[in-house]
Amino acid sequence: MKWKRGTSTEHVRDERGQGGSTGGLGGLGSVIGGMGSLGKGGGVVGLIVVLVVAFLGGKALTGGGGGFDVGDVLEDVTGVQAAPAGESLNEAPDPLTDFVIFVFNDTQSLWEQQFGQDYQPAELVLFSGGTQSACGFADSGVGPHYCSADSTVRIDTDFFRELSTRFGAPGDFAQAYVIAHEMGHHVQNITGISGEVHQQEQNDPDGANELSVRLELQADCLAGVWAHQVFARGDLEQGDIEEALGAAAAVGDDTLQQQAGATVDQETWTHGSAEQRSRWFTTGYDSGEAGSCDTFGGDI
């Protein structure tokens, strides 16, 4: 992916080094960790459809917006390369940090264009070890996640080493997919979709897991919409989409259960299978339209 360093840090907080006394890929840690039971609960009530149509419908979005030593070692492990320009958030140049900030700002720019004056910005919080948000405390094991209570995307940049080595999903666009997915949750939050889904989960606990899967797949699709915008302006590079699809498949519930040596059990899924996650990302990417991301309207 073509990108540049030195983008705005207006909505960025760096809490790394402060320890930690939030949730993700929809909470990627939630994907990796425990999974509830999936009931037979049906689709979401009509408000979801209304919100999707009103806020996301039918518009082509093609406008645009510690463990690593930097340099060759970081590039080899993470796949991140940077144009030598601009200032990083920290005193020492850090290509990975700059890349995370760039992608966050780029996705934010897309949704700002879509919503106009009604858009409410998200904030990016970089942390290490643990983080305290309005959603509570989360350690690094939770991974990248979004807190709807304070509209923050929270990223431990060390996670991307795990994404590459443990989950076998290297490359800068694999990382970009993760960030864009979390920003998809922000879109769901400010449109009221996530709030309605959570209310439905409380009303129908047996259907909570299915609703969670549909919510997560919609965030994957919205990440694909952003990827389409990157393509439209000519900033995708060979292999980028494959990297994103590799990451989506790597964090599928079935993939993670297999890695853990557990029986693949669809009734425990909360984020969707590798095939579902890849397919919904592709849906958003192919269409470039957020209106294509209605995961609540039928089969998934």
pLDDT at 184: 97
When pLDDT is cut at 50, 70 and 90, the band that residue 230 belongs to is very high
Q: pLDDT at residue 71 above 60?
A: no
CA distance linking residue 159 with residue 142, whole number of Å: 10
**What residues contact 185, with CB distance under 8 A and at least 6 apart?**
24, 26, 146, 148, 194, 219
Confidence check: pLDDT of 60 > 70: no
Query: Could you give the CA distance from residue 265 to residue 257 in angstroms, rounded to a whole number?
Result: 8
Letter for the amino acid at 187?
V
Residue 176: closest CA among 146, 213, 220: 220
- Tell me: the pLDDT tens digits for 123-150? 999 998 889 899 999 888 888 999 999 9
pLDDT band per the 50, 70, 90 thresholds, residue 93: low
Percent of the chain having pLDDT more than 90? 56
**Banded model confidence at residue 47, pLDDT cuts 50, 70, 90:** very low
Confidence (pTM): 0.80
pLDDT, tens digit (0-9, with 9 covering 90-100), for 11-21? 899 988 775 54
Instruction: Identify the three-state secondary structure at position 87.
Output: coil
Residue from 156, 132, 149, 137 nearest 25 by CA:
156
Instruction: Find, among 194, 277, 245, 255, the residue nearest to 35 by Cα.
Output: 255
CB-hemisphere CA count at 13 Å for 53? 6
Higher pLDDT, 6 or 40: 6
pLDDT digits (tens, 9 = 90+) for 264-276: 999 999 999 999 9
CA distance 193 to 175: 25
Lowest-confidence segment of 11-25, 49-63, 141-155, 179-193 by average pLDDT: 49-63
